[in-house]
Structure 1
Amino acid sequence: MSASLGQLSRFLAVGVLLLALDTLIYSVTTWAGLPIPWANPLSRASAAAAGYFAHRQLTFAASATSPIPPDQMLRYLLVWCALTAVSTLSLFSIAGAASAQMAIVAKPLIEALLAGISFLMLKHWVYRT
């Protein structure tokens, strides 16, 4: 298996778990009444915290004991902010046009679409593998 295909496979495996965590937190917080502009960044931040370390060590094979380069963390945060803005605006638009329940249903689909962009950005810009 090529290195890129292996990375993509690991990215997808980790991503499914992170998507489940993200969607669970988003669903619970919106159900509890937290507005989408707060619920989505909160749910994405929870998954992103776990995702940074999982992708760094499992997907893109950095040593668990190697120090975290500050510029790498900054690039990760920039990618996360951009994708979170796209995700939040999409969910807010869906909730406004349809319903909050429809936004919950759409959340995993939106995040799955953004995953392709995320993989390319993490591979080529954040972790530079």
Structure 2
Amino acid sequence: MDALQKRWQRVPFREVLTYLLIGGTQFVLDWALFSLLHWLGMPASPANLLGRATAALLGFYLNGRFTFAEPGGQKLGGARFGRFVLAWILMTVLSTVLVQAVVWLWPGPMVYLAKPAIEILLAFLNFFVLKWFVYR
């Protein structure tokens, strides 16, 4: 518990605020694209994949340039992008499984409400994955 508290204390408020602003932008883009594609008839899983991929590319750039950048520089590049892709794949698999479970359990419009809730929960976890794994 002490190790976790020490790590949390090293999270500057600016990082959290910037992550929330960028994440909000990603969230709206992901949800809007998912909803549009699903509404147009695309199955939930591929629509979720396309929405997340589009938002993720925007997030990789913005978070590397602003949220987790060191003073005077940004945190982008091949090694970080590789770690980002790995983390994104894991989060996307989890997101897609949860979205598909909602579609199977509650067919109909419930998925449009569940998708944002799923992404908000994953965003909290993703902050720490980005900070301590991707942009370290």
Q: Same fold (TM over 0.5)?
A: yes
Tell me by how many angstroms 1:4 deviates.
2.0
Pairing partner for 2:67 from 50, 55, 59: 59
Pairing partner for 1:70 from 30, 53, 78: 78
Partner in structure 2 of residue 102 of structure 1:
110
Partner in structure 2 of residue 88 of structure 1:
96
Query: Normalising to structure 2: TM-score of the pair?
Result: 0.86
Alignment coverage as a number of residue pairs: 125
1:23 correspondence with 2:31 = yes
1:44 correspondence with 2:52 = yes
Aligned Cα RMSD in Å? 1.5
Query: Normalising to structure 1: TM-score of the pair?
Result: 0.91
Distance 2:125 2:53 in 1: 17
1:79 correspondence with 2:69 = no
5+ residue gaps, structure 2, are: 1-9
Percentage identity across aligned positions? 32
Distance 2:11 2:31 in 1: 29
1:100–1:84 distance in 2 versus 1, CA, 3 Å:
farther
| Larger RCO of the pair (alpha carbons < 8 Å, separation 6+) | 1
- Over 6 Å off, 4+ runs: none
Distance 2:108 2:60 in 1: 29
